[in-house]
């Protein structure tokens, strides 16, 4: 069992407060992704877990043992760095064996583990090469291999895919998911790419400005965001957040035209300001009814198309146009209908 729990973790660099009291529990075998915009403290949080940064306040516990004061080398975790941090003067084999040598394992055991990891990651042919003779994707795999051979309690990934090109990123993402299924270890993964977060995570932790905004499964976050930040952060294109007012129970008006939309208003009083969140794919085109929209841009991504429109008094509204291959939108204006 490898669990991790953080209680009231704070981190300050001088007078700059980076983490403001993080409480989190990661269960055994879970794949948790920290996601958030740049500078939200997600990497710092990972480094605190790794032991590379000391906490200013709070506690870190692994498997119920307090490790707050332990240095990185004694926590039994493995980390994959954004820069890969491969030792440039060592061969791939040596890179992977380094940690095992430090652990004092016998030579044949080291050899067995390195070759097994190399086999899993298709690195067997490159074991004698130096890192500089490898492509970006191969270096990435060596960095992962270096973590795997350790058989660590928890894997930590610090934006491991951000230096790869788009195609390789998707492929490696799938490999990582496969790896997690195969190894079953506890993994903590930091990224700013919400697609990575959505596809890999068992649970996503959304961070902003050093605080946890929401923790949940990808679909929970997608369907039931707790707050505006999470609503806007998860999903691409962004969720439409339309400022409006409650006109009367069950009806909200948005925009300068005071267009009325029927939705549940619960206990909100009439006249209360609200923000209406609608995902682009929940909007559909309509000729006759709904919110009038001036089309500004149509993005055709091949498989799917998005329409960007404007309505007076509202921010730009993206809408999913469906999967039609050759939809020709020649009209200047369209009507959007909210199906809910």
Partner 1 sequence: MSLVTKLATARRKPGRWHWTDVAAYAYLALGVVLMFGPVAWLAMSSFKTQAGLLEFPPSLLPMSQREVVVAGHAQPLPLFEVTMPDGSTRVLAQVRRIGIQAQMVDPANPAEVIRVPIDKRTLVREFKLATENYTEPLERFAFMRFLWNSVFVTVVATIITLIINSMAAYALSIYEFRGKNTVMLMVIGTLMIPITIILVPVYLVVTELGLVNSLWAVILPGAATPTGVFLLRQYMLTLPRDLIEAARMDKASEWQIYWRIVMPLAMPALAVLAIFSVMWRWNEFLWPLAVLTKTESYTLQIGLNAFQGELQTQWHYLLAMTVVTLLPVALVFVFLQRFITTGIANTGMK
Name the residues that contact partner 1, by CB under 8 A.
Answer: 50-52, 71-74, 77-79, 81-83, 85-89, 98-99, 102-103, 146, 150
Query: What's the closest the beta carbon of residue 90 comes to partner 1, in angstroms?
Result: 8
Query: What's the closest the beta carbon of residue 139 comes to partner 1, in angstroms?
Result: 13
Please, what is the end-to-end C-alpha distance for the chain in angstroms? 44
**Given the structure tokens 């300050």, which residue do they identify?**
12
**Given the structure tokens 């899993």, which residue do they identify?**
120
Looking at the DSSP bridge assignments, the partners of residue 105 are: none
Q: Which is nearer to partner 1, 155 or 222 (CB)?
A: 155
Q: Which is nearer to partner 1, 78 or 246 (CB)?
A: 78
Q: Which is nearer to partner 1, 104 or 273 (CB)?
A: 104
Query: What's the closest the beta carbon of residue 86 comes to partner 1, in angstroms?
Result: 8
Query: What's the closest the beta carbon of residue 148 comes to partner 1, in angstroms?
Result: 13
User: Is 315 in contact with 242 (CB distance < 8 Å)?
Assistant: yes
Cα–Cα distances (Å) from 73 to 76, 133, 189, in that order, read: 7, 29, 19
Query: What's the closest the beta carbon of residue 321 comes to partner 1, in angstroms?
Result: 44
Cα 50 from Cα 74, distance rounded (Å): 10
Query: What's the closest the beta carbon of residue 246 comes to partner 1, in angstroms?
Result: 52
Cα 312 from Cα 291, distance rounded (Å): 10
User: In the structure encoding, which two tokens stand for residue 186, read together?
Assistant: 């506890």
Query: What's the closest the beta carbon of residue 64 comes to partner 1, in angstroms?
Result: 22
Residue 210: half-sphere exposure toward Cβ, Cα within 13 Å? 13
Q: Which is nearer to partner 1, 86 or 321 (CB)?
A: 86
Query: What's the closest the beta carbon of residue 184 comes to partner 1, in angstroms?
Result: 21
Q: Which is nearer to partner 1, 32 or 49 (CB)?
A: 49
Cα 26 from Cα 113, distance rounded (Å): 27
User: Is 263 in contact with 253 (CB distance < 8 Å)?
Assistant: no
Cα 50 from Cα 4, distance rounded (Å): 11
Q: Which is nearer to partner 1, 51 or 137 (CB)?
A: 51
Cα 263 from Cα 276, distance rounded (Å): 9
Cα 285 from Cα 294, distance rounded (Å): 12
Q: Label residues 202-232 b or e (16+ Cβ within 10 Å = b).
A: ebbbbbbebebbbbbebebbbeebeeebbbe
Cα 318 from Cα 308, distance rounded (Å): 4
Q: Which is nearer to partner 1, 96 or 317 (CB)?
A: 96
Q: Which is nearer to partner 1, 88 or 273 (CB)?
A: 88
A 10 A CB-CB count for 5 gives 17
Query: What's the closest the beta carbon of residue 14 comes to partner 1, in angstroms?
Result: 12
Q: Which is nearer to partner 1, 77 or 92 (CB)?
A: 77
The DSSP line for 94-115 is HHHHHHHHHHT--HHHHHHHHH
């Amino acid at each position: 069992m490898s669990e991790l729990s953080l209680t009231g973790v704070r981190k300050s660099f001088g007078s700059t407060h980076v983490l403001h009291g993080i409480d989190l529990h990661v269960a055994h075998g879970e794949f948790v992704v920290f996601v958030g915009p740049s500078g939200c403290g997600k990497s710092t949080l990972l480094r605190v877990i790794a032991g590379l940064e000391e906490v200013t306040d709070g506690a870190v516990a692994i498997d119920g043992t307090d490790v707050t004061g332990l240095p990185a080398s004694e926590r039994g975790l493995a980390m994959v760095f954004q820069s890969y941090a491969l030792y440039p003067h060592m061969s791939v084999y040596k890179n992977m064996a380094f940690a095992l040598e430090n652990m004092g394992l016998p030579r044949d055991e080291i050899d067995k583990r390195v070759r097994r990891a190399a086999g899993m990651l298709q690195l067997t042919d490159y074991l004698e090469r130096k890192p500089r003779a490898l492509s970006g994707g191969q270096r990435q795999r060596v960095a992962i291999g270096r973590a795997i051979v350790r058989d660590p309690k928890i894997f930590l990934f610090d934006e491991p895919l951000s230096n790869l090109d788009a195609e390789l990123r998707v492929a490696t993402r799938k490999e990582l998911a496969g790896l997690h299924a195969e190894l079953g270890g506890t993994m903590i993964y930091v990224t700013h790419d919400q697609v990575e977060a959505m596809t890999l995570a068992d649970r996503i932790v959304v961070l902003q400005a050093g605080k946890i905004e929401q923790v949940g499964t990808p679909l929970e976050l997608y369907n039931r965001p707790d707050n505006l930040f999470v609503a806007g952060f998860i999903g691409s294109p962004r969720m439409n957040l339309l400022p409006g007012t409650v006109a009367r129970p069950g009806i909200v008006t948005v925009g300068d035209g005071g267009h009325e939309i029927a939705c549940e208003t619960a206990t909100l009083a009439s006249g209360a300001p609200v923000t209406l969140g609608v995902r682009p794919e929940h909007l559909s085109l309509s000729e006759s009814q709904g919110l009038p929209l001036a089309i500004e841009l149509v993005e055709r991504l091949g498989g799917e198309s998005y329409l960007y429109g404007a309505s007076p008094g509202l921010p730009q509204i993206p809408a999913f146009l469906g999967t039609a291959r050759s939809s020709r939108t020649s009209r200047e204006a369209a009507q959007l209908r909210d199906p809910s």
